[in-house]
Amino acid sequence: MLDIRFVRENPEAVKENIKKKFQDQKLPLVDEILELDRQLRAAKTEADGLRANRNKLSKQIGMLMGQAKKDPSKKEEAEAVKAQVAAQAARLAELEAQEPELEKALTEKMMVIPNIIDPSVPIGPDDSCNVELARFGEPVTPDFEVPYHTDIMERFDGIDLDAARRVAGNGFYYLKGDIARLHSAVLAYARDFMIDKGFVYHIPPYMIRSAVVTGVMSFAEMDAMMYKIEGEDLYLIGTSEHSMIGSFIDQIIDEEKLPITYTSYSPCFRKEKGAHGIEERGVYRIHQFEKQEMIVVCRPEESMDWYEKMWRYSVELFRSMDIPVRQLECCSGDLADLKVKSCDIEAWSPRQQKYFEVCSCSNLGDAQARRLRIRVRGADGKLYLAHTLNNTVVAPPRMLIAFLENHLQADGSVTIPQPLRPYMGGKEVLIPSK
């Protein structure tokens, strides 16, 4: 959410940013916001004037009533002033009722206006305009056919989709045996990888209140992703970023404690509205998965440096497991409304002969901090809004897809790279049972 003062002083810049994000339907909102802001400020100014006048008249009444003991005519003057106070009280009550209504309407519209994107963000309407910035590792095309990822897992008796459908429906799975162990090994390795980078490990709540939901994401994201707990003011998290950033709601952080760097594990629950296409079969796009996340809360002047560090950590992690990746910068139309800048790390798929998303790194500027009222007390005692960032460390089972395809051998076995072996009981290779 933007600062209302910024919108008030830079309406054309806000409109231009909306155009860059190809959300022209939101352009009228800017003028509506300016009018609501004008009405709210006018109501507050008039109400403050009436309160000040009420205090002044109250003192005058007291003085007149004191003088009435000697001069009875003063009592009539006091009654006249009381009538004036009563008349103004009705208007004050009207204004005091208007203020919260105007504030609510203004906030609702402000929360729909997208954040100002960084000047470096490429302009385009959708993900087809995302820009490849760099590749890391050489994509390998094996001289044998790479099966679909669930077929690979089934060779190890490692997945049961039919049982999952009976129990929960489509979009769920059972992992078994070596595949389930590999899943846990990747998460454990990613956890320790981030701890070694100086991040503090957390396991957060898996449910959050609506005040946190609206603080960490846009309404469009909320509708497409979140599961609501019936009868409770609780939502299942779509990523641990939600509860981790939410932990700072209404907090004032001493500047000397920044940057705050956390890595967190959680299951994630997503509706996945609008999911379609062949690559959304199997376990590529599902309603429940597990993820290791990284989040940073820092000073505004440090956020772009942290953005660079965070996506590079993802690259380093995947390359340590011999998986080729690339960095893809998200264009303006592909950025969620709260984001200033974002990039995806995509892993190479030998079967598809293309890259696919496995990590997403985002700088949200002060948008989440403004919504959640996360403030920093500087050395001079003044308060300012923190900047927040997040990035996927690793998210099986997408990670498993990339891992299995890139480590599959012609005989059907799957090699285990050195960093993962301690988490796999020392195994160097997985042998299929089918």
Q: Kindly give the residue spans of alpha helices, DSSP state H, lying in 289-386.
A: 303-320, 367-372
306 and 337 both lie in a single domain: yes
| DSSP bridge partners of 290 | 267
Whole-number Å distance between alpha carbons of 332 and 95: 41
Q: Dump strand ranges (E) for 139-246.
A: 159-160, 174-175, 200-202, 207-208, 227-228, 235-236
Whole-number Å distance between alpha carbons of 227 and 287: 10
Q: Which residues touch 374 (CB under 8 Å, ≥6 apart)?
A: 245, 248, 249, 250, 251, 253, 297, 368, 385, 386, 388
149 and 61 both lie in a single domain: no
Task: Give the domain extent around 338.
Answer: 127-430
Q: What is the DSSP string of 109-132?
A: HHTTSPPPPPTTSPP-SSGGG-EE
- Say if residues 321 and 403 touch (Cβ distance below 8 Å): yes
211 and 173 both lie in a single domain: yes
pLDDT of residue 278: 39
**H or E element that contains 188:** helix 177-196
Which structure tokens are listed for 97? 């009722």
147 and 103 both lie in a single domain: no
Q: How many degrees, rounded to 5, is the angle at CA 327 between CA 326 and CA 328? A: 115
Task: Give a yes or no: residue 164 inside a domain.
Answer: yes
Whole-number Å distance between alpha carbons of 124 and 129: 5
Whole-number Å distance between alpha carbons of 91 and 72: 30
Q: What is the DSSP string of 64-84?
A: HHHHTTT-THHHHHHHHHHHH
Last-in-domain residue among 110, 140, 164: 110
78 and 131 both lie in a single domain: no
As for how many domains the chain has, the answer is 2
Q: How many degrees, rounded to 5, is the angle at CA 152 between CA 149 and CA 157? A: 125
Whole-number Å distance between alpha carbons of 312 and 190: 14
pLDDT of residue 400: 94
280 secondary structure, DSSP code: G
145 and 240 both lie in a single domain: yes
| DSSP bridge partners of 242 | none
pLDDT tens, 192-241? 999 999 999 999 999 999 999 999 987 777 777 899 999 999 999 999 99
Last-in-domain residue among 55, 84, 110: 110
196 and 68 both lie in a single domain: no
Q: What are phi and psi of 25, to 5 degrees?
A: -65, -15
pLDDT of residue 171: 87
**H or E element that contains 100:** helix 73-110
Q: What are phi and psi of 157, to 5 degrees?
A: 50, 45
Q: Cis omega before residue 397 (within 30°)?
A: yes
Whole-number Å distance between alpha carbons of 282 and 159: 10
pLDDT of residue 254: 97
10 and 96 both lie in a single domain: yes
pLDDT of residue 219: 73
Task: Give a yes or no: residue 119 inside a domain.
Answer: no
131 and 86 both lie in a single domain: no
pLDDT tens for the chain, 434 residues: list them. Answer: 899 999 999 999 999 999 999 999 999 999 999 999 999 999 999 888 877 777 666 666 566 566 655 566 666 665 565 666 666 778 888 888 999 999 999 999 999 999 999 999 999 999 999 999 999 999 999 999 999 999 999 999 999 999 999 999 888 999 999 999 999 999 999 999 999 999 999 999 999 999 999 999 877 777 778 999 999 999 999 999 999 999 999 999 999 999 999 999 999 999 876 555 434 568 888 899 999 999 999 999 999 999 999 999 999 999 999 999 999 999 999 999 999 999 999 999 999 999 999 999 999 999 999 999 999 999 999 999 999 999 999 998 899 999 999 999 999 999 999 999 999 999 999 999 97
Q: Which residues touch 126 (CB under 8 Å, ≥6 apart)?
A: 331, 333, 334
Whole-number Å distance between alpha carbons of 110 and 11: 12
Which structure tokens are listed for 336? 């969620």
pLDDT of residue 82: 64
Q: How many degrees, rounded to 5, is the angle at CA 351 between CA 347 and CA 354? A: 45
Task: Give a yes or no: residue 116 inside a domain.
Answer: no
Last-in-domain residue among 65, 83, 110: 110
Whole-number Å distance between alpha carbons of 123 and 129: 8
| DSSP bridge partners of 293 | 264, 392
- Say if residues 236 and 206 touch (Cβ distance below 8 Å): yes
149 and 243 both lie in a single domain: yes
Whole-number Å distance between alpha carbons of 430 and 422: 14
Length in residues, the chain: 434
Decide: helix, strand or coil at residue 235.
strand
Whole-number Å distance between alpha carbons of 361 and 99: 39
Find the CATH number of the domain harbouring 53. Answer: 1.10.287.40
